[in-house]
Chains A and B, each alone.
Chain A
């Protein structure tokens, strides 16, 4: 018994350390400009960062801890904490995950591979291009983690066929996996439905800055960045891995029987595609009035009523931890703002404004981009946006900048720092296959990050201020 307890203490040492840090921050005296509730929420933020990085407990359980501490530390009353957990963004994340189940359930992986091989035959370069484009296109509609789940089998089959055709062992096969990981990661910021982090920023814009951004406005703001990034990613993939010209000669014969079964679209497939398209259309046209969450749930209802999805699929395949975690993180971000903690941190980061005085707005934007990239690479893009969001938006207020621009910089910066496997859901899942060494993320991710940095700074200086003027 004692040995078991000691083991748990050692195994979960980061949990105890994080709790100790939170308690110290909670009880340490600070200047009166920070309210007690603000100090408490900063203690919870510190705890969340440590737990996200070291993960001594499963991530969704962090949200339970956040609820408990928000009440125990006196940030708010239980009913207020509970209310802060639910928002349109959380319902949107939940609905998007359920819709993704409908798509994942179809034999989409086989159809995609058949489509790729039919078009490319033996060309590895064309295959890489199609993987990037397809992963990117899918990640623009549904969550990038669902895209990774669909595309990982496709890329692994390609790896297997490729390896069987190679006379000597190389690491060039990694290019197929990285095409999917980075294709999905890069395109996921294109639309709000591409990832939960996008919904977090929408929630902050509304909650902190009082600005409501529609689905279509987001697409106008972010998709041009994706369109520029995808071809750059393709060329970087070819440059880093230099895949040989051929190598997939046997693919067709190897998979012929499997392919023939997958030629025809079934009725269920057509219904699923139609519902997805309808949902995206409704998001684009009516998200301002209907909201994003209700439209997503309407799509789920249609899927269930039309029989392409049943509740068992939903309850089994939805990753319930995702909405739970993001609900708690959004709640923390909003409490950071309402307790004055975000403003307090932004005040103490006002030295950043000195960059503006020295190098103008361009230098401030570059600093913000770099900061969001570094945090995104360490704690993953979602938590980075959730934790930095209120601070960036307050910083925008201090510097007289548009919060929409600063928010977009944060989303893009945190999402394009993929030089660690934990930086984005798609990279994490592909890394989990055990086929891609960590060093490959650094080699490719760093190049992507450097180019992205330049593009994001350019967008933050010229394009986003221009386009948000029409929002």
Chain B
């Protein structure tokens, strides 16, 4: 598996990075840590690229970005990278790529490939381009205080599964699996099962129905989920609730819950105008949200 962890400012990203690295480490996935530098101007990108190319002709390490160095420091502090003689074990030295992209590769603790990449431009667009260039299984991003704009765009427009890291805490998270009668919810259930086994955690299954006559469907979903989790010896609880979906999820979510759900199956135009349940949970909730696509 290959995870993409997106970080912003140095202090703001520490929690996101720590949370993302813990999951990446538990699942033994390769990791790419992406920092998106604000785009100054496309007008002078050629000169900036030229300066970087010139810098590579010098006999010095050329990590010229403060954030890249900060990420390296955080990786060392989290003991995520392999050290040799007190220095990070580097797989590829930093190099400037096309389009303002800058990257270098280091070895993870268990030999995983860890790439530190820097892109230039709009955050959502850069993450989107990154996921088009490389196949990722999961994109992990923080939730900045921008009124939920980033969260909405990431959930709506990024192809791979997305983990929105909100209020990360140093606790053993339990999964709050939100189910309905949809194909995307079934995929979320499979992914949650896998995560629960590897992370050795429990799952609270939440089946919500809006109308009384849907109760049977919700109960069937809960029973199916219970059977599956029991087969893999995952500790679990089943909760059947009635009411508006977003409100019910927010009410059930405890501080140590990681909310797992599928994406909305409504049309793009509907989501564009009215939003979707995952987006609302990502925006209004206080828990990390994993949207399995």
Contacts and interface: CB of A to CB of B under 8 A. Distances in A.
B42 to A, nearest CB: 4
B39 interface: yes
A327 to B, nearest CB: 14
Interface in B39-58: 39-48, 50-51, 54-55, 57-58
A153 B54 contact: yes
A136 interface: no
Given A2-B267, A109-B54, A157-B60, A428 B44 contact: yes
Interface in A106-157: 107, 109-110, 145-146, 148-150, 152-153, 156-157
A428 B40 contact: yes
A104 B50 contact: yes
Given A3-B156, A434-B64, A435-B66, A11 B124 contact: yes
B50 A149 contact: yes
A429 B46 CA distance: 10
A434 B65 contact: yes
A389 interface: no
Contacts of B54: 109, 149-150, 152-153
B155 to A, nearest CB: 12
B74 to A, nearest CB: 15
A317 B41 CA distance: 17
A10 B41 CA distance: 20
Most buried by A among B47, B50, B125: B47
Contact of B272 (A6, A59, A322): A6
B67 to A, nearest CB: 6
Given A153-B58, A429-B51, A434-B65, A6 B268 contact: yes
B268 A422 contact: no
Contacts, number: 115
Nearest to B68: A434
Nearest to A58: B42
B59 interface: yes
A433 B59 CA distance: 18
Contact of A429 (B44, B128, B153): B44
A55 B42 contact: yes
Nearest to A59: B43
Contacts of B171: none
Contacts of B267: 2
Most buried by A among B51, B61, B62, B267: B51
A258 interface: yes
A425 interface: yes
Given A6-B272, A153-B55, A157-B58, A431 B47 contact: no
Interface in A1-45: 2-3, 6-7, 10-11
Interface size class of A (residues with CB under 8 A): 35 or more
B232 interface: no
B44 A432 contact: yes
A425 B59 contact: no
Contacts of B58: 110, 153, 157, 258
Contact of B44 (A145, A434, A435): A145
B122 interface: yes
B84 interface: no
Contact of B41 (A152, A257, A422): A422
A187 interface: no
Interface string A205-224: 00000000000000000000
A412 B283 CA distance: 47
Given A425-B44, A431-B40, A433-B64, A156 B55 contact: yes
A160 B60 contact: yes
A339 B230 CA distance: 79
B269 interface: yes
A166 interface: no
A421 interface: yes
Contacts of B50: 104, 149, 317
A148 B47 contact: yes
A75 to B, nearest CB: 24
A435 B59 contact: no
Nearest to A159: B64
B257 interface: no
Given A59-B43, A319-B44, A433-B64, A152 B269 contact: no
A422 B43 CA distance: 11
B217 to A, nearest CB: 28
B115 interface: no
Interface string B115-142: 0001010101100100000000000000
Given A59-B42, A325-B43, A6 B55 contact: no
A435 B64 contact: yes
Contacts of B59: 255, 257-258
Interface in A181-209: none
Interface in A424-461: 425, 428-429, 431-435
B18 interface: no
Contact of A152 (B51, B65, B268): B51
Nearest to B158: A7
B125 A435 contact: no
Contacts of A380: 41
B40 to A, nearest CB: 5
B122 A11 contact: yes
A428 B120 CA distance: 13
A307 interface: no
Nearest to B267: A2
Interface string A147-182: 011101100110010000000000000000000000
A277 to B, nearest CB: 23
A306 B197 CA distance: 70
A434 B124 contact: no
B37 interface: yes
A3 B128 CA distance: 13
A434 B66 contact: yes
Contacts of A258: 58-59
B62 to A, nearest CB: 8
26 contacts: A2-B268, A3-B157, A6-B272, A11-B122, A55-B41, A58-B43, A110-B57, A149-B48, A149-B54, A150-B51, A152-B48, A153-B58, A160-B60, A255-B59, A258-B58, A317-B50, A319-B43, A321-B43, A322-B43, A380-B41, A422-B40, A425-B44, A425-B47, A434-B65, A434-B68, A435-B64
Given A157-B60, A317-B46, 17 more contacts: A3-B156, A3-B157, A6-B157, A10-B157, A59-B42, A152-B48, A153-B51, A156-B64, A157-B58, A380-B41, A425-B47, A432-B45, A434-B64, A434-B68, A434-B118, A435-B65, A435-B66
User: What are the 7 A-B residue pairs with the smallest beta carbon separation, nearest first?
Assistant: A434-B65, A152-B51, A149-B47, A58-B42, A3-B268, A153-B55, A319-B46
